[in-house]
Amino acid sequence: MILTVTLNTALDLTYAVPALVPRSSHRVTEVTERPGGKGVNVARVLSALGHDTVVTGFAGGATGAVVRRLLGALPHGPADALVTVGGNTRRTLAVADRSTGDTTQLNEPGPHIGADEWAAFLRTYGELLPGAEAVALCGSLPPGIHVGAYAELVRLARSAGVPVLLDTDGEPLRRGIAARPDLVKPNADELARLTGAREPLRATRDARRRGAHSVVASLGADGLLAVTPEGIWRAAPPSAVRGNPTGAGDSAVAGLLSALAEGLGWQDRLARAVALSTATVLAPAAGEFDRAAYEELLPRVTVEQHASAA
C-alpha cells in the first residue's frame, strides 16, 4: 500500500471559458469537480496505475462531504482514511482559457485545525504507517497546524522504516527537509525560495545538502532534474505541450512513488514521472492523465545521467 497525506484537502472546481478577459463577465462552457489537494491527486494517479493507495488528512463540513463522496465514487479509487474536522474543507478554482490554453488558479486557505484534530490525525497516521510501502507528504498546511508538522511526519515515517517523499513549500519545506526525507520534489520557484538560487543545478544541490537523500526538481516544460546518491539525472519530454498544468507536479510524484514501490531505478522513475506529468497537462482536470498520451510518451522521454552529485 502507498499512503498519501493531504493535510489541506480541497474540492477542485475547473471552469472552462472561451477566453478569460480581466474585468469582464464570462459564460462558463464546462464545469468539472474533483476531490483534490496534492496528495489526493497523487493517490488518484497511483490508483489509475494499479497501486493499492490510501488517502489520509482532513475533511470537514459540506465541502468535505462532497470530497469524500466523489472520492468514494471513483472506480478502483484510493481508500478514504481522512480524519473528520469541524471546519469546512476548502475549494480551489481553476479557470481554463480555451483561446490560449492557459489556466488561472484560485486557492482558498482551508479550515482551522485544532489541537485535538491534529492529535486524531497523528493516531491515524501512526496506524497506517506499518502497512505502507511508501508515503507522500503533499501540499500546504491548513491554518492551525504548526509549521514543523511535515518534519514531525517525516521523522515518524523514518522511525517506521517507510520511505517518505515531501512535496511542499516555504517554511514547512525548510523544516521538513532538515528531518531527512528520502526524496523532495520542489518546482523551480519553491527551490528558489528555499535556497535563494535560481540556477536549477546549484539550487537542487543546495536543497540536497540541507538534508534530503535525493531531490527531484520540476522544471516545467524542461522536465526534471534529479540530484541523487547515484548521480545527477536530467529527464525531459520529447516536446512541449499546451494544456492545463494543474496537477502535473502531483503526477510526477505519483510516477516517482510508483516506480520506487516497484523497485525500479532512477532512469525508469524519472521517465515515468515525466511521461505522467506531461500526459496530465493534456487531461481536463487535476488528478487525471491522458493514458494514451502517457503510453506513447513513456518510451520517448529522454533521460541522461551525469557522473557525480557532488
Which of the residues are catalytic? 250
**Could you write out the DSSP letters of every residue in 25-71?**
-----EEEEEEESHHHHHHHHHHHTT--EEEEEEEEHHHHHHHHHHH
Q: Measured between alpha carbons, how far is residue 134 from residues 93, 123, 168, 211, 277 in Å?
A: 30, 18, 17, 19, 20
Rounded to whole angstroms, the Cα distance separating 297 from 86 reads 44
Q: How many CB atoms lie within 10 A of CB 251?
A: 32
| Residue 264 CB burial class (10 angstroms; 0-12, 13-18, ≥19) | middle
Q: What is the spatial order of strands in the sheet that 90-97 belongs to?
A: 30-36, 10-17, 90-97, 103-107
Residue with cell 511521461: 275
How far does the chain reach from its first CA to its final CA, in angstroms?
34
Q: Could you give the 3-state DSSP secondary structure of residue 179?
A: coil
